[in-house]
Amino acid sequence: MGAWISKFHNVAIFKTMCFAITVIFSAIKAIGASGTPKMLWWAGLALTIGHTYSISRAWKFIKLSEEDWQKLLPVETLGMVHEFLNFNKERLYIVDAPALLCILAAMVVEAIESK
């Protein structure tokens, strides 16, 4: 289990880069847009930033060393993994999916209005 968490660090770095690009791109588009696309870009930006609300919950998993993982009982490890998956599922439904839909809608509306 500890090896999985140590590899999660690389995934987190990639996700951080994607997050930063999305925030910057959405902010640039929101500033330059008008009407409905502007509102959708701002909503997508706010929801994307909302993705970070659970970092404090994830921190207890990320900060565990390999030794800390080895000390945990299998039941504790399984419980932590379930908790980790559950709050990631919550984040997906509460902020990530709506953010994606807002950004996609903004792009579609801009494309339709530009014709």
pLDDT in tens, 14-69: 888 999 999 999 999 999 999 999 999 999 999 999 888 777 777 777 777 778 87
Separation CA 48–CA 27 (nearest Å): 11
Task: Identify the burial level of 26 via C-beta atoms within 10 angstroms of its C-beta, where 0-12 means exposed, 13-18 middle and 19 or more buried.
Answer: buried
Q: Give the per-residue pLDDT at 1.
A: 47
Taking the whole predicted model, whether its pTM rises above 0.85 is answered as no
Q: Give the per-residue pLDDT at 29.
A: 94
Question: Helices marked H in the chain — which ranges?
Answer: 2-32, 35-50, 55-62, 66-71, 74-91, 97-114
Tally of domains within the chain: 1
pLDDT in tens, 3-13: 555 666 777 78
**For range 66-94, the mean pLDDT:** 85
Instruction: State which residues form the domain around 25.
Output: 2-114
